[in-house]
Structure 1
């Protein structure tokens, strides 16, 4: 009898086992018979233990053997199934074959068919085992080919080393990054001398590889700098692990690498940028209390807390933001988030020592609902603004005193002059009137200078051509002529810009005479506008001095007119300079002007 198989477990399903099935174990010692009286009991046994072959009677309680076969095939389409029919017929045999039984044996009453049944069982088991083994080998081969293709075309560097450190696998990405073809590196370990030409560095790297081979540990995020075949340096991030393959008896290591040169360089630049930023860069979680998840920069110098403490021990919105400012800036941030807009804030903070400082912050919400932003210290700027406000208050007080204490006597003098003209009118009184007018202009100029340092905050849309023409009408110009060669509008404090133009027009008439021609035009490249005359011009040595208070080359001038022009331009964040005009006169250029479309 055949004894090729070590052990075969048979499930026999029948209400009353036949003598042929009872003698199976005697026919073949490898056979172990498990019985079940019903199909349901047979299905339960199949679920509980491994079975190599099923032998079933056709006539079963409630169902027939073919129905039982269908139930078996729902879970296992490989196990041999032999239909052993006591009341067999050609119709049953045909139905059994059509249903996919492994074998069909008619059970002849009164005969012992143990030997036949044992032979058929062993044959079915061996045939199925062989087919499964063949299918498994095919699957393994297909899997190996697929694995090799995945390794070859993977977009990460993959190399495999044997236990001696020689290269046995070198994929296409490894070739692309290193510049060395697989034919150049497989079968030896000289590649390490090529990739790491510095001996000390190479020995350190190889020592770590040896540790992997000896300890069978995994190493992740391990960076090395290689020298490519073309001489470039690239940073590779490695994931390495020991390799043991019982099937091939291969012991070695696998290394998977990613070229992170650009990422590391970007990270280095970002770190350098953060280190040199004049303030704090942060990321905070959602919520009005700004719980910092990340902070870097001048954390300690600004707040007294380290970056780590800002993220773990204190909360920005609770412990740092001044309590009197918290509600205001929380509402501003909430509004900006609702509108999907960045936010800009100015508020006070309290340092670790309790000192009050002013900060300026700009941030925005990210796609993950976190807040990213930066914060800078503006305490010194705020102190300067406060000092300037105090200075402006003093100047305003001074201007009021000047206006009252000088204008009152001047008004009295003008009244006396009118009375004197009633009694007599001569040239001496005309000189007195001109002196009074000069004193009035002097008072106006002093007041304008006193108030000129304030920024031009309340601005309107101003048409430069229209304002130039209206300003020209308020200046004594005699027979002088104005040309407006500009069609632009700006946003400016209209009264102050009018004063600027009046002073430039008056300066042109005072120095160019009653027949001077003055032109207001646009500078090239839309950078600003100019006021130009065809008078005698201003010498190069005097051009810087003309904007100084009290400087004048005219006996009738106050010396403050151009200084006021400079102050008004600065109040608008403009710049005024003087140069030669196209027709030889003076040309005042006002730049850094933003025209409106």
Structure 2
């Protein structure tokens, strides 16, 4: 129902200095405060007044303290819902913009809202973008409201003005005259239309009009006394003003001079209001043949590509073309014949032949005798919205193709949780036919769903942005099983729908339960290691320092070395206990940079690092750091003070090698926990390497290199 998705750079009909007073009706105070904050941030001109009770909102509208320019209302509220509030507002303020901003979205509500005359309809969604959209919808609605109000005021002012006002065509024939003008000249209004201005002048004065009055009027404006000849051939003295509009029309005002020669103020509010309006406006004359256009504003020209001179005198059907819907044209004709307002969205054509979608609103205008006088047409370009709707329909068609034969369970439900469609896989898994599932609610099938919370969640879900969460499904026999749900909100054939793609995760849950139990055991173990061993070790290390200060003994250093080895064991045990406890945080890691970081963090003495790789691997950076540090430490400890450690590429991953003495000739598994050939070593370093490899689904081998030294190759291709 939106007429524009946002504001453009063209001059707005809204004066910059004028405050836009908004009445927001929302029973949730915290949400209402949030909306007010965002709206007033979006536009400085906005002033938002909030009512949490719809009845209080009605009282505020009736009060005379604030003249509200727009109402924004929720739908689901105590006392009165949004549509009931709209109905009551329309009784007293039939043209006041009313935007239904609701989390309760359905085609029934939207249809009722349109029928009830809502100005715009917007569903609440997640994120802050919804407030920007709402702000633009409000501003556009108020612009149209003010434009129409000012135009109507201008027309009414012209019709009821004491001054005579007439509009003449470029060639000088009367196209419009108000009652006062007709009375001054002694004609019926109908008799004035079509007459040339020369009819009302004395012959001797006509030349002066051509030579003086009209040229001055074209320059700016001409004003002065004039003697006209009435229909009864009697002269009448008037104060006379002439001015031209952009399209060449001549505006003529007449007023009888008062005693002091003062001239009544001329009135051109109608022209200004319509010319500056941000929407296309045309006036047509139903009393003339073929209901021709007698006025078109500048925005209409921008919208269609036609100059005003090209449209005056033509019926609006010149915008129609090959693909214009005849059924919608028939609706327009029927409304015009019945002198009733009508709103349609029509495929029209610009002057250059390009198509555009036009939201056209037509309304009749009556004169003081309640006779049909004009039709006014308001026109908006809604092409972009139509294109978005077409794209959504195309997406829906692809979804339909995947729906039937998908191996996943799929259900489609509406904003109230009612299932509208279910695929074969879901029916088979739950033991129902499709007919038995359709019409049930989501919480009928998933006992974990709370209806109120679910509706709130769906209302805030943005369109075409998938969400993932877990739930449960209950079979016909009462048994349940866990599921992973991928939910996406879509427009399917113009209807707000939620597509839930479900997968059975029973086996995954079993693995997670087993892993959870294992991790709990590791947690308990880590707690013992961390607290119960570290604390007494810290005490022992402190006492050794005191003992070293008081006594010289060869045993002190031996005890200190043993304590260092115990601390190393504790640190390695904690690493092993924590491996696999947290989910992998996988990202792309540059091996060279991480290896340099590890090298700088450990004691390497006179050893040398050689980097021969620029490879990037997908890994958990922290765990990969543990792997590299332990391989470097292993090389330095076993290779000697001047060892060179090299990291380079293999076809399937990378290697870490040294030029030391190499691995011992033994059948022992170097990755086994506790294995070490260095005195004082914990034996857990390479075991940690193996754990990291297994966690990533990689592979590791250990062997002596062709030129001596140990070489560890890690194949990452399986994990990538």
TM (norm. structure 2) is 0.38
Query: Which structure is larger by alpha-carbon Rg, 1 or 2?
Result: 1
TM (norm. structure 1) is 0.45
The structure that is helix-richer by fraction is 1
Q: Which has the higher contact order (CA 8 A, sep 6+)?
A: 2
